[in-house]
Structure 1
Amino acid sequence: MSGGGARLGLDEVPGRVRAAIEGILGAPVVAARSQPGGFSPGLAARLVLADGRRAFAKAVGVERNPDAPGFHRREIEVLSALPPDLPVPRLLGSYDDGDWVALVVEDVDGVPPAEPWRPDELARVVDAMAALADRLTPSPVPARPIATLDQEGFRGWRTLAAEPEAAAPLGPAVCRRLDELAAIEEGWVAAAQGTSLVHCDLRADNILLAGDRVVFVDWPHARVGAPWLDLLLLLPSAAVTGTDPERVWAAYPPAQAADPDAVTAVLVALTGFFLRQSLLPPPPNLPTLREFQRTQGEAAFRWLLARLG
């Protein structure tokens, strides 16, 4: 399960930001319903307008969390450039005053997949992910390479191996393998290379089942890499609630063309990221993020041990 951002209501957003949102939409907002799930520390709400139209808005300022406005800026860049026929909400407009950043997208009449994942919904989502990976290869927009994640935390095992006492809270099963996993982690960037646009943050709360469509939302972390990365990054969140990740992985068409050692190297890096981050203090207004990362890391570690034999 996921969620944990200390969300803001629309009435808690500065007046200039609310006015900008209404200016983008061309009508007053008469109702706003905050959405659960995810880790945004700002506004994330479905809006109803005076003329009956609907939209979805996100907004955050640096006082809420120093990193969050940058995420919104990146999502605006990605959504502005994506082709309009993708299963992604259309960007309606944005606002940025250097402190607060807001974006407004079309409201998708859908619901996230149930958690624990239902097999039929997971199969539907995985099929849609394969189709999206094909559509996004090669990437239709400029985006940061997957290698940038190495500087943003995908070096957790190397960090812990250099300071093994810091890993003690993770338990002996983790601590005895620090050097082994740090060595595998060294190769994850080369293993993850590719030409596909990858969402990099797919979980149930970033997916909407909308009639016969599957819609993928929240794109600030998008990067260019291997086409199989998104399912690999999603599966620990499904494994937390009982899904066998290897069974799903083995049936995924992009995975079937992947080098198994490359897949394991990326899974090592993902596991190290989650477990290392789980030891850090929580970021501002994200009180449950570290618990979430610990749970994800433990699920990823179980999958990783199975792959390593």
Structure 2
Amino acid sequence: MGRRPDTEAEAGGAPPVAAGVRTDWWAVPERVRRAVEARLGSPVHSAVTQNGGFSPGVAARVRLADGRRAFVKAVSPEPNPDTPDLHRAEARITAALPVAAPVPRLLMSLDLDGWVVLVLEDVDGTTPVQPWRPDELRRVLAAAGELAALLDPSPVAAPSVADRFGGRFQSWRRLSAAHAAGADDLAWLDPWARRNLGRLTAREAGWCHAAAGGALLHGDLRADNVLLTGDRVMVVDWPWAAVGAPWFDVVAMGPSVILQSAPDTAIRLLDEHLAARGADEEDVTTVLVALTGYLLRKSVQPPPPGLPTLRDFQRAQGRAAVHWVRERTAWG
């Protein structure tokens, strides 16, 4: 009997994409646009909205009247009231990163009338091809390792991964409690996960210790947060930065890679990379178990304002993560 497909890619369907609700640059209030242009010293001549990523608001490559180019991100509290604080965090982190880091330079930031605007160096690059090509995946994994080494110890004050994700990465415990209380029959959950709920809950409990470390982490590494240039791999969008084990970002991006690839090839390349970097196998599995529970539990909750595709993407990542956990644990 054939194994039931664990991912949309295996089932033959197109995986969901990381896509938010974008706002056109010209829809930003004129007072805010004029303030940005005054700081830049030239008006915006043209703006091309960029797709990809979940953050609502403006994400545009702009050309100024004097010929310079830049990348602009801008949000207001509508439709998602949490996003402005994420942009403020990104501005603080990006401004403090070392010059050697492969990260677009922050040119300016502005907080005006509820709008938060970041203007960054424009990078002439492209996101990795989807489905992932093995050569590009190897290139990005190598770059992630180099970036973690550059940022260890962290040059920026940031919360630990335990503080950043601690409340989120207790999902198996919460699912188990809801099931025991009769509040959720977990019929929506993968049958393998239901059978191993106790093991998953116990394993999740040790994730904070497993993920501890001193490296500055991106915290949200995916294909849509990477730009490939002729000679560099640039990592963008840093609002979730945290301090922890230098391999954490690779584990965290793993479910999206498996989802957007041939799963067995992706898992092999991920595991080979982690082993080559000396990541403890048990610690990796523990963190992966906690991440998997988070993705699955979040996937059945209502979508956040302005992020209509997020839950579908989390659900697909959760299924991909289950595949990886099954491979690593060999639990029946």
Is the shorter-chain TM-score for this pair beyond 0.5, marking a shared fold? yes
Cα contact 1:227–1:254 (8 A) shared by 2: no
Distance in structure 1 (CA, Å) of the matches to 2:200 and 2:243: 24
The answer as to 2:122 corresponding to 1:107 is: yes
The answer for the alignment partner of 2:209 in structure 1 is 190
Q: CA RMSD in A?
A: 1.5
Q: Find the residue that maps to 1:249 and give its secondary structure.
A: helix
Q: Pick one of 83, 94, 108 that aligns with 2:109.
A: 94
- What do residues 251-306 of structure 1 show as CA deviations (whole Å, max 9, x unaligned)? 32676422211111100011011100001000111101000000001001100011
Give runs of aligned pairs for residues 1-309 of structure 1, distance below 5 A. 2-97=17-112, 99-164=114-179, 165=184, 167-241=186-260, 242-243=262-263, 244-252=265-273, 256-309=277-330
Unaligned runs of 5+ in 2: 1-15
Cα contact 1:2–1:205 (8 A) shared by 2: no
Q: Find the residue that maps to 1:301 and give its secondary structure.
A: helix
Counterpart amino acid of residue 119 in structure 2: V
TM-score between the two structures when normalised by the length of structure 1? 0.96
Distance in structure 1 (CA, Å) of the matches to 2:276 and 2:39: 41
Q: How far off its partner does 1:24 sit?
A: 2.7
Cα contact 1:34–1:46 (8 A) shared by 2: yes
Q: How far off its partner does 1:70 sit?
A: 1.0
- The change in CA–CA distance for 1:248 and 1:66 in structure 2 (over 3 A counts) is same
Cα contact 2:300–2:311 (8 A) shared by 1: yes
Distance in structure 2 (CA, Å) of the matches to 1:166 and 1:44: 41
Unaligned runs of 5+ in 1: none
Q: How far off its partner does 1:20 sit?
A: 2.5
Q: Find the residue that maps to 2:246 and give its secondary structure.
A: coil
Q: How far off its partner does 1:231 sit?
A: 0.9
Cα contact 2:164–2:242 (8 A) shared by 1: no
Counterpart amino acid of residue 177 in structure 1: N
- The change in CA–CA distance for 1:151 and 1:230 in structure 2 (over 3 A counts) is closer
Cα contact 1:91–1:105 (8 A) shared by 2: yes
Distance in structure 1 (CA, Å) of the matches to 2:201 and 2:74: 38
Distance in structure 2 (CA, Å) of the matches to 1:157 and 1:228: 22
Provide the identity percentage: 52
Cα contact 2:126–2:229 (8 A) shared by 1: yes
- What do residues 15-46 of structure 1 show as CA deviations (whole Å, max 9, x unaligned)? 22212221232111111111111001111111
Q: How far off its partner does 1:249 sit?
A: 2.6
Q: Find the residue that maps to 1:11 and give its secondary structure.
A: helix
Cα contact 2:256–2:317 (8 A) shared by 1: yes
Q: Find the residue that maps to 1:147 and give its secondary structure.
A: helix
- What do residues 119-170 of structure 1 show as CA deviations (whole Å, max 9, x unaligned)? 1111111111111111111111111110023444111111111112163222
The answer for the alignment partner of 2:3 in structure 1 is none
Counterpart amino acid of residue 70 in structure 2: A
Distance in structure 2 (CA, Å) of the matches to 1:172 and 1:42: 38
- The change in CA–CA distance for 1:53 and 1:150 in structure 2 (over 3 A counts) is closer
Range that drifts further, 140-149 or 103-112: 140-149
Cα contact 2:106–2:118 (8 A) shared by 1: yes
Counterpart amino acid of residue 301 in structure 1: V
Cα contact 1:130–1:254 (8 A) shared by 2: no
Q: Find the residue that maps to 2:176 and give its secondary structure.
A: helix
Distance in structure 1 (CA, Å) of the matches to 2:301 and 2:284: 27
Distance in structure 1 (CA, Å) of the matches to 2:271 and 2:43: 49
Distance in structure 2 (CA, Å) of the matches to 1:172 and 1:140: 44
Cα contact 1:199–1:223 (8 A) shared by 2: yes
